[in-house]
Chains A and B, each alone.
Chain A
Amino acid sequence: MLDFSILTDNIDLYMKGFVNTIKISIIGLVASFILGNLIAVFRLAPVKLLNFIGAVYVEVIRNIPLILTGFFFYNGLSYFHINLSGFIAGTIALSIYTAAFIAEAVRAGIQSVDKGQLEAARSTGLTYTQAMRYVVLPQAIKIVIPPIGNQFLNLVKNSSILGVFAGLDLMYYADLIHEKTWITFDTYIFVGMFYLILTIPLSLLVNYLERRLARSS
Chain B
Amino acid sequence: MGKVKKWLAAGLVFILAAALVAGCGKSKSTGGSGSASDDPIKKIEDRGKLVVGVKYDTYLFGYKDPKTGNVEGFDVDIAKAISKKIFGDKVKVELKEVTSKTRIPMLQNGDVDMVVATMTISPDRKKVVDFSDVYFDAGQSLLVKKGSKIKSVKDLTKGTKVLTVKGATSGDNVRKAAPDTTVLEYENYQEAFTALKSGKGDALTTDNSILYGMAAQDSNYQVVGGTFTKEPYGIAMKKGNTKLVKAVNKALKELKDSGEYDKIKNKWIKE
Contacts and interface: CB of A to CB of B under 8 A. Distances in A.
Contact of A75 (B167, B171, B172, B198): B198
What 9 A-B pairs are tightest by C-beta distance, nearest first? A78-B198, A166-B184, A83-B199, A75-B198, A175-B166, A179-B167, A164-B187, A75-B194, A78-B199
A164 B185 CA distance: 9
A182 interface: yes
A165 B166 CA distance: 11
Nearest to B188: A164
Interface residues of A, number: 15
Contacts of B191: 164-165
Contacts of B198: 74-75, 78, 83
B42 interface: no
Contacts of B9: 182
A85 interface: yes
Nearest to B165: A179
A172 B163 CA distance: 14
A83 B166 contact: no
Interface of A: 74-75, 78, 83, 85-86, 164-166, 172, 175-176, 179-180, 182
Interface of A is mostly: helix
B195 interface: yes
Interface in B237-260: none
A182 B195 contact: no
B200 interface: yes
A166 B199 contact: no
Nearest to B9: A182
B186 A165 contact: yes
Interface of B: 9-10, 163, 166-168, 171-172, 184-187, 191, 194-195, 197-200
A182 B187 contact: no
Q: Taking each of A166, A179, A180, A182, which has the highest tally of chain B beta carbons within 10 Å of its own beta carbon?
A: A166
23 contacts: A74-B198, A75-B194, A75-B198, A78-B197, A78-B199, A83-B199, A83-B200, A86-B200, A164-B191, A165-B186, A165-B191, A166-B184, A166-B186, A166-B200, A172-B185, A175-B167, A175-B185, A176-B171, A179-B166, A179-B171, A180-B172, A182-B9, A182-B10
The secondary-structure label for the interface of chain B is mixed
A86 B185 CA distance: 11
Which interface residue of B167, B197, B200 has the most chain A CB atoms within 10 A? B200
Contacts of A172: 185
A75 B198 CA distance: 6
A165 B163 CA distance: 11
Given A78-B199, A164-B186, A175-B166, 20 more contacts: A74-B195, A74-B200, A75-B198, A83-B200, A85-B200, A86-B200, A164-B187, A165-B191, A165-B195, A166-B163, A166-B185, A166-B186, A166-B195, A172-B185, A175-B185, A176-B166, A176-B185, A179-B166, A179-B167, A180-B172
A86 B186 CA distance: 11
A179 B197 CA distance: 25
Contacts of B186: 164-166
Contacts of A83: 198-200
Nearest to A75: B198
A175 B187 CA distance: 9
A141 B113 CA distance: 74
Nearest to A83: B199
A85 B167 CA distance: 22
